[in-house]
Amino acid sequence: MSIKIKVENLVKAFGKKEVLKNVSFEVKEREVFVLMGGSGSGKSTVIKHIIGLLKPTSGKIYIDGVDITTLKDFELIEFRKKIGYLFQEGALFDSLKVWENVGFYYLENTKMPQDEIRKLATQKLALVGLKDIEDLYPSQLSGGMRKRVSLARAISYNPEIILYDEPTSGLDPVTSAMIDNLILKLRDELGVTSIVVTHDLESAFNIADRIAMIHKGVIYAIGTPQEIKNHPDPVVQQFINRRPEGPITEELMKELQKSNNT
């Protein structure tokens, strides 16, 4: 399989705080690539760079061989049509009906007739296992249904890449498994390339072709789920075995002591 996304020596600093430190990885076409790490590890910051919401301090990001960090704003807007983005909280518009949320891009950017947009929204909702909810509002839906509506919106313009930011966050185990199955279904049926940001270990090991473990802006390991489970690095082992002692905890304690002394 060809390389769809290549992140090369990505560095991001906010003032003096370096959030990403020479992050590098490749994602193959049609791969489900999981970026796994704890809160504040930098994983969501990585995907915000891939969609162009953030500009790196240094480094390059190639999508289909094009370095998107060099694109002008209008070029980036056009390039984003390749990418669907599932926000962590769904980011649905409460004042719009479900079909209007799913078809929002077409309502705002095209002259497509509304009945056609509604038909398209119905088709995308069916892909994520939802029907007969087109005229409901987000407030009338469960958390899992809102996530699936957001996913229907993310695939509404047939993207080649989908970025998932904590897709199972706040969901019960059954609904989480449903979202995992949808991620795999969209890969298999639509051929999309997926990057999934998560701290959900069960989800990561269920869906990933490969996993990158990130901690404090540094990639500690990249490999198949089995390779990550067997990886010798103590930071990786502490995270995947949920041990309350080890390098991550020691670093946290040092930071707390430092802040208490200032």
18: in domain: yes
- Between CA 152 and CA 166 the distance in angstroms is 16
Please tell me the predicted confidence (pLDDT) of residue 255. 55
212: in domain: yes
246: in domain: no
253: in domain: no
Please tell me the predicted confidence (pLDDT) of residue 254. 62
CATH number of the domain at 130, please. 3.40.50.300
Mean pLDDT across the stretch 204-224?
Answer: 95
Please tell me the predicted confidence (pLDDT) of residue 54. 92
227: in domain: yes
Please tell me the predicted confidence (pLDDT) of residue 108. 84
State the total domains in the chain. 1
Which residues constitute the domain of residue 224? 3-231
* Distance set, CA 80 to CA 42, 110, 120, 188, 201 (Å): 22, 16, 20, 22, 29
pLDDT tens-digit series, residues 158-211: 899 999 998 888 888 888 898 899 899 989 988 999 999 998 899 999 999 999
pLDDT tens-digit series, residues 88-118: 766 788 999 999 999 988 888 888 999 999 9
Is residue 79 within 8 Å of residue 63, measured between CB atoms?
yes
Please tell me the predicted confidence (pLDDT) of residue 222. 97
171: in domain: yes
202: in domain: yes
- Between CA 228 and CA 222 the distance in angstroms is 7
* Distance set, CA 30 to CA 7, 87, 94, 111 (Å): 17, 20, 33, 32
Please tell me the predicted confidence (pLDDT) of residue 127. 87
- pTM for the structure as a whole: 0.87
Burial class for 136, CB neighbours closer than 10 Å (0-12, 13-18, 19+): middle
245: in domain: no
Q: Reduce the secondary structure of 191-252 to three states and give it as a string.
A: CCEEEEEECCHHHHHHHCCEEEEEECCEEEEEECHHHHHCCCCHHHHHHHCCCCCCHHHHHH
